[in-house]
Amino acid sequence: MIVDCAHYREGQRQHEGPMELEEAAGICMNGDGFVWLGLFEPDAAELAQVQRRFGLHDLAVEDAQSFHLRPKIEQYDGGIFFVVLRTARYVDERAEVEFGEVAIFLSERFIITVRQGVASDLHGARVRLETRPELLRAGTAAVLWAIFDIVVDDYAPVVESLERDIENVESIVFGGAAAPTHRIYELRREATDFYRTVHPLLGPLDGLERGAYMPLGKELQQFFRDVNDHLKLVNEEVAAQRDLLATVLQANMAVISVEQTEISVRQSETTKQLTVMATIFLPLTFITGFFGMNFGWLIGHISSLQVFLIEGVGTLVVSCLVLSLWFRRSGHL
């Protein structure tokens, strides 16, 4: 789907609203200025039409239809560059990071952006750049800077939100309680995916700042240097978050191990108490069972209360005293 298509000349947009694709291709062939074409999740037929109009390379178009590519800059014949950026945003409702992608076809006469995912909105970059005609006069390189700038600026809220989530888990773990292990793994995975979004972009952006891919004016070079500084800061923070989450995960496993050990100790103590009680009742049960049998000898000899107290109750008391003395000497009591 074509989101916007505009012709820029001398730092100004030349018309209101999006223009037709055929008209934009004709301007690139015969007019002056440049065309900025924005596409959002186009299908194969729409990309094929754009490819025919602007002479894009097959491999670059194929990559533009893919998702989760590594950030990169490639150069093709005809002075056309192909740039891949990964975008990110934090979704508060789901408490997770959502990733998107922007593929960019760039030449002196046109810049085509192919967005994948909701997290790849570039409308703010276009609006911001249209208010700064002095930058738009620099051509498509200025548009590339604006895209880099908004993508890297959008990384900062993600870093802050991840930091908040990590602090919440960290406070639980180092407070002596066990945090849900799956939540730590989710944060670890998100931090890893975010690192793969940020870190590979360092080399291409550094090359752009030095003018290794295309010549840049001194002023525009300073703007790229500012974006590069922000990206390096984000990269350092994301790397630190990954390391911290690894430590938190280890600490959480240690807390879980301590809790399991405490449970085992309590179970062992309970088993010990039950064993002591069973040992006490074993001889008592035997004695009471013996004297409860209706043999003639027992009935004939236990004929008075005194005999019952001495032979019946007395043996129970003696058994309890013997067991108590044995438990104390063996350390069970």
Tell me how far apart the alpha carbons of residues 80 and 142 are, in angstroms, rounded to a whole number. Answer: 16
On average, the pLDDT of the chain sits at 84
Backbone angles phi, psi at 298, to 5 degrees: -65, -40
Task: Count CB neighbours of 244 within 10 A.
Answer: 18
pLDDT digits (tens, 9 = 90+) for 237-286: 999 999 888 888 887 777 777 667 777 778 777 777 777 777 766 776 76
Quick one: CA dihedral 236, 146, 38, 73, positive or negative? negative
The top-scoring range by mean pLDDT among 11-15, 99-103, 130-134, 166-170 is 99-103
Q: What is the pLDDT of residue 265?
A: 73
Tell me how far apart the alpha carbons of residues 162 and 241 are, in angstroms, rounded to a whole number. Answer: 8
Q: Above pLDDT 90, what percent of the chain? A: 36
Tell me how far apart the alpha carbons of residues 239 and 199 are, in angstroms, rounded to a whole number. Answer: 9
274 with 280: CB under 8 angstroms? no
Mean pLDDT value of segment 68-79: 87
pLDDT band with cut points at 50, 70 and 90 for residue 197: very high
Asked if residue 19 has pLDDT above 70, the reply is: yes
Report residue 206 as tokens. 């550094």
Of the CA atoms within 13 Å of residue 316, those in its CB half-sphere come to 13
pLDDT band with cut points at 50, 70 and 90 for residue 111: very high
Backbone angles phi, psi at 9, to 5 degrees: -145, 130
Please spell the DSSP secondary structure of 297-315, one letter per residue: HHHHH--SHHHIIIIIIHH
Buried/exposed 105-117: b ≥16 CB within 10 Å, e otherwise: bbbebbbbbbbbb
Q: What is the pLDDT of residue 307?
A: 64
DSSP 55: T
> Does an H or E element contain 216, and which?
none
DSSP 75: E
pLDDT digits (tens, 9 = 90+) for 33-58: 899 999 998 888 999 999 999 999 99
Q: What is the pLDDT of residue 236?
A: 95
Tell me how far apart the alpha carbons of residues 219 and 162 are, in angstroms, rounded to a whole number. Answer: 34
pTM of the entire predicted model: 0.77
pLDDT band with cut points at 50, 70 and 90 for residue 298: low
Q: What is the pLDDT of residue 27?
A: 85
Residue with the bigger pLDDT between 289 and 107: it is 107
Residue with the bigger pLDDT between 150 and 302: it is 150
Mean pLDDT value of segment 176-187: 78
Q: Of the candidates 81, 85, 82, which has an alpha carbon nearest to the alpha carbon of residue 100?
A: 85
Query: Kind of pairing, strands 34-40 and 2-9?
Result: antiparallel
Contact residues for 311 (Cβ-Cβ < 8 A; gap 6+)? 291, 302
Reported residue count of the chain is 333
pLDDT band with cut points at 50, 70 and 90 for residue 82: very high
Tell me how far apart the alpha carbons of residues 49 and 261 are, in angstroms, rounded to a whole number. Answer: 66
